[in-house]
A = this chain, B = another copy of it.
Amino acid sequence: MANSLDNNPPHEVVIVGGGFGGLYAAKALAKAPVNVTLIDKRNFHLFQPLLYQVATGTLSPADISSPLRSVLSKSKNTQVLLGSVDDIDPQAQKVLVDGEAIPYDTLIVATGAKHSYFGKDDWEEFAPGLKTVEDAVEMRRRIFKAFEAAERESDPVKRRAWLTFVIVGGGPTGVELAGAIAELAYKTLKEDFRKIDTSETRILLLEGLDRILPPFAPELSQAAEKSLKELGVIVQTKTLVTNIENDIVTIKQGDDKREIASKTILWAAGVKASPMGKVLAEHTGAELDRAGRVIVEPNLSIKGYDNIFVVGDLANFSHQDGKPLPGVAPVAKQEGEYVAQLIEQRLQGHTLPQFNYNHQGSLAIIGQNTAVVDLGFIKLRGFFAWLFWLIVHIYFLIEFDNKLIVIIQWAWNYITQNRRARLITGAESLIATKFGDNPTYYSSDKIRDTVNV
């Protein structure tokens, strides 16, 4: 164990990851008598809760991204390093970044999570998830390409598959994607096509448990399901996905097995911790949970290494009510800020009581004018929940530099019902228009499409 917290200044704090956990730790240390090095593979912080709006053509990636250097440019004790961490040496107190050793006195690891297919990694090709800007642009490409392909398809069975969207996972991301695609199909694109009627689009939201939005109170899950149904989404709970291949989703409902033909399958079902968890476990003996998260001490450090902290989605903190805290932005943010404060206290010879998460509520937006908000003591749905969602998100965005643009974009979309950012771009965008050559196209006789609409 290496503890050099009472050394001479400058005390070197190295933070790995510029998500909510890492960035808020760095910001909270801006005035502390320490040197901070924030390492990230990307040059921007991503406001992940709004990523679904990029995937569905409302916002541009830059609208929900803040250059890390610009956010931290006034923190003169902080340097940003664009690079990828290969390894960590807790004995020598060094982090290896692209071959270069960066020494630390205190290390904060905040590398987050990525989507998980529960061991079925071959599903990823057919059902992309939503964690990065590139994921969102790929999802956007698939969604808008599907309508284009349907417009050019004369075979009604194939056209139906192009106009069928399946979203796997009924958590907030799945609900938000389903609601946004419904508004796209039934409102935004209504006048845009000549051969297809986009109101024939089917949007299926599949959830394994008996209700969507499991972290919310049951009455809010019901309200959300009702709102989604009013928007035109087909919600299927107690539905397990048993296979995904060749544009066919196989589902299991009780003893029933069914196949759904869909060209656009979106994954919003599960996450696992980033590989840095394993690296930490190897070097420190830290215990990992089943999702690969590092089980942390009450002060978010690793057992036996009180100068190594893990915050955000990579951490499994269960010292509050026995259950691990959820992988959401407010948890990461509070954890990052707690560790920053603890470092400052330690430098003055003090310490802090254990971390305590202050849960302020759960929010999910369903569509224009409708959302659900669970603050525990008060539960909102419909218009007031939507307004609350809006204010909270604007408040969070204000802390960076994006608020103005996003507010204008939202206002603009609200008034015009349009979505400007619906570009089909990227490496595959040109070949993608060659619909006829699609090698993964199913043969139509293979389809038993028995889900009722």
Asked if residues B74 and A191 are in contact (CB atoms below 8 Å), the reply is yes
Tier of interface size on chain A: 35 or more
Asked if residues B422 and A412 are in contact (CB atoms below 8 Å), the reply is no
Residue of B nearest to A78 (CB): B194
Residue of B nearest to A67 (CB): B422
Asked if residues B61 and A63 are in contact (CB atoms below 8 Å), the reply is no
Query: How close is A404's CB to chain B, nearest CB, in angstroms?
Result: 6
Within 8 A of B (CB), among A155-169: none
Residues of B within 8 A of A62 (CB): 60, 420-423
* Partner-binding segment picked from A8-16, A119-127, A324-332, A429-437: A429-437
Asked if residues A435 and B404 are in contact (CB atoms below 8 Å), the reply is no
Which A residues lie at the B interface, using CB under 8 A?
Answer: 41-44, 60-63, 65-67, 69-70, 73-74, 79-84, 98-100, 133-134, 144, 148, 151-152, 189, 191-195, 401-402, 404-405, 408-409, 412, 416, 418, 420-427, 429-430, 433-436
Interchain Cβ contacts under 8 Å between A and B, 15 examples: A42-B424, A44-B422, A62-B421, A67-B192, A67-B420, A69-B189, A79-B194, A81-B152, A84-B430, A98-B152, A98-B434, A100-B152, A134-B426, A402-B420, A408-B408
- Given A43-B144, A60-B62, 19 more A-B residue pairs with CB atoms under 8 Å apart are A41-B433, A44-B422, A44-B423, A60-B60, A60-B61, A62-B423, A73-B192, A79-B194, A80-B192, A81-B151, A82-B148, A82-B424, A82-B433, A84-B430, A98-B152, A98-B433, A99-B436, A404-B408, A405-B409
